[in-house]
Amino acid sequence: MKHFIYALLLMAGILAVQSCTDDTIGSSLTDTRAAIIEDSSFVLTGRSVPNQRLQARTSTQLVGLLKAEGYGTLSSEVVTQFIPATIIDTLNVANDMIDSCRLMLAITPSGFTGDSLPPMRLNVYRLNKQLPSPLYSDFDPTDYYDEDDLLGSTAYSPKSAVTVNYQSSSGATFAYEAVFVPMPVDLARDLQRQYRTSPETFNSPTAFARYFPGVYIKNSYGSGRVMNFNRTEMQVFYRKKDYLNDTDTIISKRATYMAASPETLQDNIINMDVDASVEQRIQDGEAIIVAPAGYEVQLRFPIQDIIDSFRDNVGDDMGVINKLELTLPVEAIGGERAIQPPTNLLMVKTSQKDKFIAGDSLTNNKDSFYAVYNTAKQCYVFNGLRDYIVNIIDNQNGIASDDDINLTVTPVDITTYTSQASYYSTAQSVVTKIAPQVSVPAICRLRLDKAKVKITYSKLMM
């Protein structure tokens, strides 16, 4: 549908005053009619395609087993390397003064998906060799650990999580929930012994991984829930002989020997079996997204039709593109668990998707874009597509290639940094990382039959 909004522009003539003998004063008034045009007469098509092999660019660790009608069966395990502590307190700390060791798994604010009550248990194994790079979600850890090399095991659920309070370097106090796994004290003593004899082992994650390749974390019992962790630390508790008031005093302390983070090599090992009813809907041609490691949607974007319509309507007049946006309505199909649509969608040229993820890229609004799910309106709106069409018109003579037309929509996790407000500026949120979604299960149908692609442009008729 096209909407024409006409405005009368009055351009005041410039009064030109000339000096000398015969002064001449002239003026002109030019009427220019402008039309602001909105055109949404375009058809968007697409189809679901498997997205079952995610590259390990994740920021969170998902552990558990969840079965949900209308969604499917999701199991997720984790392999991860660690960033070592570069300084370990060894002064007046003998090996027998190290008392205990534990693995901390901090729970994200979203916490879990599924039922909080079923009893579930996880195991932590020591890896026996370095992980390959890159890692993918279909990684097979069989040859990288030994069932006999179990470091620790614990029951885990939202109910069993412990509240931890800590104070930041700025003095602010924060609290978070965490699951703790008891680890062998000999592991901590071995780490300290290694630091004493070969401190260069702790200089970098790469050097440390040659000594301690990492851990494998898997669900060992129960089902009904997947839990999301965003920080993993190996914590060591020890006693230290300090001198207070000229007297030997034993003081208990805690040290973090190593921590996993998005910068280390880590992967969620995901097995996703989509529900038969969802598979049938996909076979029937519905555009359905399932995450993690399920389905994404490949689109045929009508960019050439948009450019041709724009040029035909502007003709010999002047046209200025103001905006191009895509609205994707959503049908929630989360089944019995009420699994929600993805929070964020990335839309990127299909030919560049793998490169985008592997390069830890951010969207540029020319060949990659993202949109946030609007819960109230049940839709995604990609409203920053102007540079996409202008680039084709300016640099490709308005001829869109197959590369421009074929776009992929895939669920992603987005990490942001919010700057602090000051007297001179307001707080701003900046996207710092875009990674394949593994934070929570997600599913929805994109209603391509109701999608709206709308271009808004100004036409000046001289």
**Count of Cβ atoms closer than 10 Å to residue 209 Cβ:** 21
Nearest to 100 by CA among 239, 197, 193: 239
pLDDT tens-digit profile of 202-240?
Answer: 999 999 999 999 999 999 999 999 999 988 999 999 988
Extract the tokens encoding 322.
Answer: 């103001």
CA distance 232 to 138: 22
How, if at all, do strands 442-446 and 429-436 pair?
A: unpaired
The reported pTM is 0.85
Those residues with Cβ within 8 angstroms of residue 246's Cβ, 6 or more apart along the chain or in another chain: none
Q: What is the dihedral of CA 48, 50, 55, 59, to 10 degrees?
A: 60
Confidence of residue 424 (pLDDT cuts 50, 70, 90): low
Confidence of residue 167 (pLDDT cuts 50, 70, 90): low
Which of 47-56, 396-405, 416-425, 451-460 bottoms out in mean pLDDT, i.e. has the lowest? Answer: 416-425
Confidence of residue 56 (pLDDT cuts 50, 70, 90): low
Q: What single-letter DSSP state applies at residue 55?
A: B
Mark residue 398 as left, alpha or beta (left: phi above 0; alpha: psi -120 to 50; beta: remaining): left
Which of 9-13, 106-110, 124-128, 292-296 bottoms out in mean pLDDT, i.e. has the lowest? Answer: 9-13
Beta strand spans in 356-396 (E): 368-372, 379-382
| pLDDT the model gives residue 260 | 79
pLDDT tens-digit profile of 83-117?
Answer: 998 888 888 888 889 999 999 999 988 789 999 88
Confidence of residue 200 (pLDDT cuts 50, 70, 90): very high
Residue 30 has pLDDT above 50, yes or no: no
322-348: average pLDDT: 93
Residue 257 has pLDDT above 50, yes or no: yes
Residue 6 has pLDDT above 70, yes or no: no
CA distance 415 to 114: 24
Q: Which residues face 221 on adjacent strands?
A: 121
| pLDDT the model gives residue 27 | 34
Q: What single-letter DSSP state applies at residue 339?
A: P
Q: Write the burial class of residue 96 (CB in 10 Å: 0-12 exposed, 13-18 middle, 19+ buried).
A: exposed
Extract the tokens encoding 2.
Answer: 């096209």
Extract the tokens encoding 197.
Answer: 């004899």
Confidence of residue 32 (pLDDT cuts 50, 70, 90): low
Determine the Cα angle at 300 with ends 361 and 36, to 5°: 90
Cα 412 to Cα 300, 346, 356, 373, 441, distances in angstroms: 20, 6, 12, 12, 11
450-455: average pLDDT: 97
Could you tell me how far CA 232 lies from the centroid of its own chain?
18
**Count of Cβ atoms closer than 10 Å to residue 82 Cβ:** 23
- The answer to whether residues 5 and 35 touch, using CB atoms and an 8 Å cutoff, is yes
Q: Which residues face 107 on adjacent strands?
A: 229
Torsion angles phi and psi, residue 39, rounded to 5: -125, 120
Count of residues making up the chain:
462
Could you tell me how far CA 174 lies from the centroid of its own chain?
24
Q: What single-letter DSSP state applies at residue 27?
A: -
CA distance 367 to 141: 36
pLDDT tens-digit profile of 268-290?
Answer: 999 999 999 999 999 999 999 99
What is the rounded end-to-end Cα distance, in angstroms, of the chain?
25
| pLDDT the model gives residue 170 | 65
- The answer to whether residues 88 and 202 touch, using CB atoms and an 8 Å cutoff, is yes
Please give the residue that has the higher pLDDT: either 79 or 462.
79
190-202: average pLDDT: 93
CA distance 150 to 141: 14
Q: Which residues face 242 on adjacent strands?
A: 249
- What percentage of residues in the chain have a pLDDT greater than 70? 88
Residue 29 has pLDDT above 70, yes or no: no
115-139: average pLDDT: 93
Confidence of residue 358 (pLDDT cuts 50, 70, 90): confident
Q: What single-letter DSSP state applies at residue 130?
A: P
Residue 263 has pLDDT above 90, yes or no: no
